[in-house]
Structure 1
């Protein structure tokens, strides 16, 4: 049946295609790669997705690439079908927004001046990325934040929640709120469909250690 939906399907909320970022050091003729991040995944529908992995594995680099504040060496990031690195820098947070733990501002990187880039096709971000928010167990803040994530999801948004578990309740937060996961390890990003698959992954169990269920 040829209806409008089949002819013009809604694009995924977030599509990461062949994304790569390489960090190199040394003199120009003898530079060596010190770290590489590679990612290829898609998240079609509104959801709360947990992101976790060891320190230095590339989680924040991934978030910066998704929001356009870091330039990829290869690949692209599509938010509702629009390449975020082709959007004017001051409008990229209308597609995806990165909430930093330290609340510092990042300078957006670009290869072209803004007048040569596209306008954002959205007035409000479709993808919300929370980078290790500080959960306070004393004043009901956790419940407030979880309700906020659920509200964003109910409005058709995608939430990426990056946590580095160092307490048992962090793991319980991931179990309660997340519908899928991205495990970042040594520069590779592995999608996992649910909490059961997450904790069954040997690298995740090694990473969680005594906190593994």
Structure 2
């Protein structure tokens, strides 16, 4: 049986500050498994740790404890220049994130794969020109259909952002309060009180309308 595409095994990241006495300033914890090819939406308030989560998933930010496994391989044990053969992080304008090198690459293992299995898009810029959004959504689906896991982080500031999430994502991760909560679908996400508080009244109204459109009419 094939290993899950992505596992966060009791991952915990703690940021601290101070000289002699280090005091925690932020903690993010995640324990989840994404087993099969899919498109996963990631949402949450600014500063909740979404980018930190992506950086740990792709090996550019080492967790304080726990492991990140891509298809059974601990990505933080792979040579830096080869980590994007497991998981790759595109930030906003699709630039690849840099790695923080703490261990000489000679002491790390080669990647077991040649092309990325996990593609993480961190708040991609969707151009509103004709056809562009459809092109990008088709691209995400193509990656999924080729056996990849696509993780799409968005900060909804307009109703059409919610439309994209509802249309493209099969499941969701809500990042807030120092943790990562898995949501089965868009309806479950919209029903989450913390998500509704994060959206605010107007965007929540738009999200409810999307859910209403997607609900089958009883016959």
TM-score, normalised on structure 2?
0.90
Partner of 2:112: 121
Paired residue secondary structure (1:151): helix
Aligned Cα root-mean-square deviation (Å): 1.2
Q: Determine if the alignment matches structure 1 residue 208 to structure 2 residue 199.
A: yes
Aligned residues: 204
Aligned pairs for 1:43-192 within 5 A = 43-103=34-94, 106-192=97-183
Q: Is 2:29 the partner of 1:17?
A: no
Using the TM superposition, give the Cα deviation of residue 137 of structure 1 relative to its aligned residue in structure 2, in angstroms. Answer: 1.8
Q: Is 1:195 aligned to residue 186 of structure 2? A: yes
1:198, distance to aligned residue in structure 2 (A) = 0.6
What is the SS of the residue equivalent to 1:176?
A: helix
| Per-residue deviation, 1:109 | 2.6
Using the TM superposition, give the Cα deviation of residue 139 of structure 1 relative to its aligned residue in structure 2, in angstroms.
2.8
How many angstroms apart in 2 are the aligned matches of 1:189 and 1:207?
15
Distance 1:30 1:20 in 2: 20
In the superposition, the TM-score normalised over structure 1's length comes to 0.92
Q: Could you report, residue by residue, the CA deviation over 1:35-85 in whole angstroms, capped at 9, with x for unpaired residues?
A: 111111000000000000000000000000000000111000000000000
Runs of 4+ in 1 over 3 A off after TM superposition: 102-107
Q: How far has the Cα of 1:110 moved from its partner?
A: 4.2
Query: Partners of 1:116 and 1:109 in 2: how far apart?
Result: 15
**Any unmatched runs of 5+ in structure 1?**
1-8
